[in-house]
Structure 1
Amino acid sequence: MSTPRFLSLPPGVSPVQIDTPHGQFAALEATPMSGVIERLPALLVPGLTGSKEDFIAILQTLATANRKVVAIDMRGQYETPGPDDAAAYTCPALGNDVDAIAMAVGDGGPVHLVGHSFGGLVTREAVIDGRTKFASFTLMSSGPSGIIGPRERAGRAIMRELPELGLEHVWTTRYEPEALGGGVPDEIIAFLRKRLFANNPTALATMAAQVLDQPDRTEELTQIEVPTLVLFGEHDDGWPPGVQAEMAARLGSEIVVVPGAVHSPAVEAPETTAAALTRFWNSAEAIRRPAV
Structure 2
Amino acid sequence: MTPSDEHPQVDGTFGATDETVLPMEHGDVRVLRDGPLDAPVLLLVHGSAASSRSWDALTPLLCTHRRVIRVDLPGHGGSAEPPGGDYTLPEQGRRIGAVLDRLGVEHVVAVGHSSGGYAVTALAEQRPDLVTALVLINTGPGLDAFIAPERPPFSPEQWPPTDEQIRVFARTGFREGFRVPQELVDELRGMSFHAVAATMQAATDYLRLQPLPDRLTALGRPLHVIFGELDRRWRPSSAADYRVVPGARVDFLPGAGHTPILEEPQRTAALLLASTGTPTAEAPQAT
Pairwise TM-score range, normalised by the shorter structure: 0.7 to 0.9
Following the alignment from structure 2 to structure 1, what is the Cα–Cα distance between the partners of residues 200 and 42? 26
Pairwise CA RMSD of aligned residues? 2.9
> Secondary structure of 1:120's partner?
helix
Compute the displacement of 1:195 (Å). 0.7
**Structure 1 counterpart of 2:227, one-letter code:** F
Q: Would you say 1:138 and 2:112 are equivalent positions?
A: no
Distance 1:100 1:254, change over 3 A: same
Alignment deviations for residues 11-48 of structure 1 (CA, whole Å, 9 cap, x no partner) = 2434233455544321322114xxxx443111100001
In structure 2, the residue matched to 1:153 is 149
**Structure 2 counterpart of 1:118, one-letter code:** S
Distance 1:278 1:157, change over 3 A: same
In structure 2, the residue matched to 1:70 is 69
Alignment of 1:25-44 (within 5 A): 25-32=29-36, 37-44=37-44
Following the alignment from structure 1 to structure 2, what is the Cα–Cα distance between the partners of residues 178 and 123? 23
Distance 1:133 1:149, change over 3 A: closer
In structure 2, the residue matched to 1:199 is 191
Among 91, 94, 97, which residue is 2:95 paired with?
A: 97
Compute the displacement of 1:131 (Å). 5.6
> Secondary structure of 2:219's partner?
coil
Compute the displacement of 1:147 (Å). 7.3
Distance 1:100 1:132, change over 3 A: farther
Compute the displacement of 1:149 (Å). 4.3
**Structure 2 counterpart of 1:168, one-letter code:** P
In structure 2, the residue matched to 1:281 is 276
Q: Which has the higher helix share?
A: 1
Compute the displacement of 1:220 (Å). 2.9
> Secondary structure of 1:48's partner?
coil
Alignment deviations for residues 156-193 of structure 1 (CA, whole Å, 9 cap, x no partner) = 714xx423432326x544525866x94638xx43x233
Following the alignment from structure 1 to structure 2, what is the Cα–Cα distance between the partners of residues 243 and 109? 33
Give TM-score scaled by structure 1 length: 0.78
Following the alignment from structure 1 to structure 2, what is the Cα–Cα distance between the partners of residues 98 and 157? 29
Compute the displacement of 1:51 (Å). 0.9
Alignment of 1:168-187 (within 5 A): 168=161, 172-173=164-165, 175=167, 182=177, 184=179
Following the alignment from structure 1 to structure 2, what is the Cα–Cα distance between the partners of residues 265 and 253? 20
Alignment deviations for residues 256-292 of structure 1 (CA, whole Å, 9 cap, x no partner) = 21221111111111111111111211279xxxxxxxx
Q: Is the 8 A contact 1:114 1:120 kept in 2?
A: yes
In structure 1, the residue matched to 2:4 is none
Give TM-score scaled by structure 2 length: 0.79
Among 229, 244, 255, which residue is 1:260 paired with?
A: 255
Distance 1:22 1:119, change over 3 A: same
In structure 2, the residue matched to 1:85 is 84
Following the alignment from structure 2 to structure 1, what is the Cα–Cα distance between the partners of residues 143 and 129? 24
**Structure 1 runs not aligned, ≥5 long:** 1-9, 285-292
**Structure 1 counterpart of 2:149, one-letter code:** R
Percent sequence identity over aligned pairs: 25
In structure 2, the residue matched to 1:289 is none
**Structure 2 runs not aligned, ≥5 long:** 1-13, 280-287
Number of positions where the alignment pairs a residue of Structure 1 with one of Structure 2: 260
Alignment deviations for residues 54-98 of structure 1 (CA, whole Å, 9 cap, x no partner) = 111111111111x21012211100211114633x21111111112
In structure 1, the residue matched to 2:265 is 270
**Structure 1 counterpart of 2:123, one-letter code:** A
Compute the displacement of 1:219 (Å). 1.9
Following the alignment from structure 1 to structure 2, what is the Cα–Cα distance between the partners of residues 204 and 52? 15
Compute the displacement of 1:226 (Å). 1.7
Following the alignment from structure 1 to structure 2, what is the Cα–Cα distance between the partners of residues 63 and 182? 29
Q: Is the 8 A contact 1:51 1:78 kept in 2?
A: yes
> Secondary structure of 2:29's partner?
strand
